[in-house]
Chain A
Amino acid sequence: MDEFGELALREREARRIARRQWFWLHLAVFATLQVFLYVVWALGSASYPWFIFPLFGWGIPIAAHAVYAFVVQDAEEIMVQRAMREGGEQE
């Protein structure tokens, strides 16, 4: 891999790490607030479990964020990795 390729690889890794850090921060805020809401529910009448509404309502975007942070790759990343694989196979 040439120098520019290494620079691009470091940039992709940095972007991947940043995405995952944002996800962990999002998850931490989500978890803290859900615990708080559960405690409010438990200390209250504790009858109808209303805390499940924000749990699922916010849980779905959390799941989507997780997919974005850990699974999704940019089209350019896929193209570069494919080209690197093909270049390796040719060698």
Chain B
Amino acid sequence: MRWLLGPYTEARTYRVAAYLLVGLAFGVFEFTVLVTGFSLGVGLLVTIIGLPVLVATFLVARSLATMERRLARSWLDAPLPRRRLAQHEPNGFFWARLRSLTTTPRTWSEVAFLMLRLPMAVLDFTFITALISAILGGFAQPFLVAAGVDTRIGTWSIDTIAESLIFLPFSLVLLVVGARLILGWGELSRRMAAHFLGRLDATELKHEILDILARTEGADAFRILDELGLRLGHGSFLTPTRVEATLIALQSSGHVTVSRDGSRPVFAAA
């Protein structure tokens, strides 16, 4: 019973419920902005205005994704990178900026998340409002009947206290399991956010590792992984395999040199 009712005493449950409730407003706004921006930008590509509109839309998408990332991290405890790594964007006019934005895989996964946010938010909102209504409905029914309010379900009119108590057991069951249902449903949003917004591009990881090595006089892979965890947080975006593969790539490109400290390889910026 504690497993079922315990979440009611945890702030996490209410944060997830709030995320499910407000998500619809965010989803509508984000979908509208992106569809309008992309439609306008692509439609006006034959003119001089199209490119700036497209660049602006991608930049707005990035800002919205950053906001969604913070929301998911704080309200859903989603394992996402803690801060947006500085993009090394080329100086240049819109064409160069657009090319840099559109060739980054993270941009497309962010746009995909923002587009999927609306249908997911509709499902989230429907679920949470249906759950709350079903819970409150069974408890409110006897009071409504006592107050003389005419309540009907289809052609069945509920006009006695005995009839109004029929839904009470269902509401009680939903009340008991409700918190776990909210957390379980929130897990879907959490996983979706982690999948789409939790990307860490290889280029970003390389820059981050090079920054770490520049500040230290050599570090082994464990220290690099710890330092990355402190900077970015922990999640599936930061695994030993990713760090190992990135170090191999940096070695191959000559940005990093390796020496040995006993059996452990020590990496340093070249």
Contacts and interface: CB of A to CB of B under 8 A. Distances in A.
B241 A74 contact: yes
Interface string B112-143: 00000000000000000000000000000000
Chain B at the A interface: SS class: helix
B222 A12 contact: no
A65 B241 CA distance: 23
Interface in B254-269: 263-265
B245 to A, nearest CB: 4
Nearest to A78: B245
A40 interface: no
Contacts of A3: 222, 263-264
B106 to A, nearest CB: 15
Q: Give the interface residue-count category, chain B.
A: 10 to 19
B227 interface: no
A48 to B, nearest CB: 33
B248 A83 contact: yes
A77 B241 contact: yes
Interface in A1-20: 2-5, 7-8, 11-12, 15
Nearest to A6: B240
A37 B225 CA distance: 50
A76 B240 contact: no
A83 B248 CA distance: 7
A4 B225 CA distance: 10
Contact of A8 (B220, B244, B249, B265): B244
A11 B264 contact: no
B245 A4 contact: no
A7 to B, nearest CB: 5
Q: Give the interface residue-count category, chain A.
A: 10 to 19
A4 to B, nearest CB: 4
B239 A11 contact: yes
A79 B248 contact: yes
B245 A2 contact: no
Contacts of B246: 76
B153 to A, nearest CB: 30
Contacts of B240: 4, 7-8, 11
B242 interface: yes
Nearest to B264: A2
A33 B176 CA distance: 30
Nearest to B244: A8
Interface in A62-76: 74-76
Contact of A76 (B220, B242, B265): B242
Contact of A12 (B220, B225, B241): B241
30 contacts: A2-B221, A2-B263, A2-B264, A2-B265, A3-B264, A4-B220, A4-B221, A4-B222, A4-B225, A4-B264, A4-B265, A5-B244, A7-B240, A8-B240, A8-B241, A8-B243, A8-B244, A11-B239, A11-B240, A11-B241, A74-B241, A75-B245, A76-B246, A77-B241, A79-B245, A79-B248, A79-B249, A80-B241, A80-B244, A80-B248
Interface of A: 2-5, 7-8, 11-12, 15, 74-77, 79-80, 83
